[in-house]
Chain A
Amino acid sequence: MNKNTERLYNGIIKENPTFVLMLGMCPTLAVTTSAVNGLGMGLSTTVVLVLSNLLISLFRKVIPGGVRMPAFIVIVASLVTMVEFIMKAYTPALASQLGVYIPLIVVNCIILGRAESYASKNQPVSSIFDGIGMGLGFTFGLTCIGIVREILGAGQIFGAQILSLEWFTPITIFVMAPGAFLVLAVLVAIMNIVRDKMEAKGKPLAAPSGCITGDCASCGMSSTCTGKSTNSASAAKSE
């Protein structure tokens, strides 16, 4: 597996930000009332994430270590502002649905987390793929939650009525806040069952290590870290 596809796999499956790393919980719980909202939120975060990873990776040698956080935030905030204007211009319905959660992408910890732990230490190209992987993983997670909540809470999927209201009583709790917690918990539980099953079959999905990236080969703390995972050491050899 070359490094770029490894990044995609890492973001979507191995360290899925929603189901494995549990990052970005605020938009995950708040906007996933329908599949479209989840998809829209995920994709707009992906765009910001890819561009911010690219820019931060390009500027990584210019930004002084002491002020890197403010610098990252400025980059991310500018990108989010642009995305917000674009969404308001071209998808006004979705923009008003997502409301304040679009500007709040600035403080989404996935974006700052990837900037800090990956983009600021790696080449632009692999940073882009890292952003795509993580962003699509986030989109996947949000859309899954959105689909489940929409089916149970309204009998619809992407806005189309699939369960007839003649015999189906929408379980409205699922489009409200408590439903988000219930659905997320059940989906994470399913994800953990899948991981355990794969482990039992002998092809484990590597567990996320203590640090955010789990990418020991390119980690700055590599020399002092005691919890290095063995498979990333072998990944380093194969590169």
Chain B
Amino acid sequence: MSDLFNVSSSPHVRSKDTSSRIMQYVILALLPTTAFGIYNFGIKAAILIVVTIASCIASEWIYEKIVHKESTIKDCSSIVTGLLLALNLPPTLPWWEAVMGGVFAIIVVKMLFGGLGQNFMNPALGARCFLLIAFAADMTNFAIDSYSGATPLAAIRNGESVNLMDMFIGRTAGTIGETSAIAVLIGAIILILLGVIDLRIPATYIVTFVVFLLLFSGHGFDGNYIVAELCGGGLMLGAFFMATDYVTSPITPMGKIVFGICLGIFTGLFRIFGANAEGVSFAIILSNLLVPMIERYTVPRAFGVVKEAKKHE
């Protein structure tokens, strides 16, 4: 017998997917959105994206140097964080504010809590909300050369009409990555085909949000309004790329559905009853905080385990 058996402890079945491979898939899926953002907003957007990614990688590298940890920048997660953060910034943002956002995302939200896999909320969205509170004026300044200042969402809120086709393609004002629903959807299809994301979270998110709009928006069953709310703002980008972040979303199948429902309700509440037209990022980080609790109550029954009999028979 010349065959040698590979003797090792479990698990014996391993997938080829590694953290860095999944991150590369996500970057690939974000390319259409990034490309459209640069096409739409010009060189300014490209510079902002590069600066944000660079600041994320640099802060991860420097932090790990300072605390004498093994460098993890090769897993590409800081590139994804930087890219997602940049796609969530308005193209007019001063570069040093974007750098600050990158540093906040990596050091405060991710590394201080233990690095990749330990962060309690999505680093990119944590940083976006930090910037939104810190530099409210710059973060909501959407004035671009060829477009009017108001984002479609703000226009809808003020009762103005919007061009749905423009919103779908993305020729509107907004953050770099959120304007084009079609580019985000192309990326989402790539992710689903590659098996990186599971449809449960985005699907329940969008369905819950639509139901919430039907019930509480005061517009009744108005197709135009609903499509505009879905394509406007960061909803698509958030639903497919940020709510599905492995670290900060539930791993249980039932938990994913509960998580999606929470997202839909929070987004609806913030958009309709809140002070701002947009509420996706706050909805996602708030739901991120609920994840440990959701997972606790949605643990699936292990195969063969009988449900505990009730006390009284």
Listed in ascending order, the chain A residues whose CB lies under 8 Å from chain B are 169, 171-174, 176, 178, 182
Contacts and interface: CB of A to CB of B under 8 A. Distances in A.
19 contacts: A169-B94, A169-B97, A169-B135, A169-B138, A171-B100, A171-B134, A171-B135, A172-B133, A172-B134, A172-B135, A172-B136, A173-B130, A173-B133, A173-B134, A174-B134, A176-B133, A178-B130, A178-B133, A182-B108
A174 B133 CA distance: 9
Consensus secondary structure, chain B interface: helix
Consensus secondary structure, chain A interface: helix
Contacts of B135: 169, 171-172
Q: Which of under 10, 10 to 19, 20 to 34, or 35 or more describes the interface residues of B?
A: 10 to 19
Contacts of B94: 169
B267 to A, nearest CB: 21
Question: 7 nearest interchain CB pairs?
Answer: A173-B134, A173-B133, A171-B134, A172-B134, A169-B135, A173-B130, A176-B133
Contacts of A173: 130, 133-134
Nearest to B108: A182
A174 B130 CA distance: 10
A178 B132 CA distance: 12
A169 B96 CA distance: 11
Contacts of B108: 182
A171 B132 CA distance: 10
Contacts of B136: 172
Nearest to A178: B133
Contacts of A176: 133
Nearest to A174: B134
Interface string B134-149: 1110100000000000
A186 to B, nearest CB: 10
Interface centre among B94, B100, B135 (most CB of A within 10 A): B135
Interface string B86-111: 00000000100100100000001000
Interface centre among B100, B108, B134, B138 (most CB of A within 10 A): B134
B26 to A, nearest CB: 28
A174 B134 CA distance: 7
A151 to B, nearest CB: 14
A173 B100 CA distance: 13
Interface centre among B130, B133, B136 (most CB of A within 10 A): B133
Contacts of B138: 169
B219 to A, nearest CB: 33
A171 B130 CA distance: 10
Given A171-B134, A172-B133, A173-B133, 4 more contacts: A169-B94, A172-B134, A172-B136, A174-B134
Nearest to B130: A173
Nearest to B134: A173
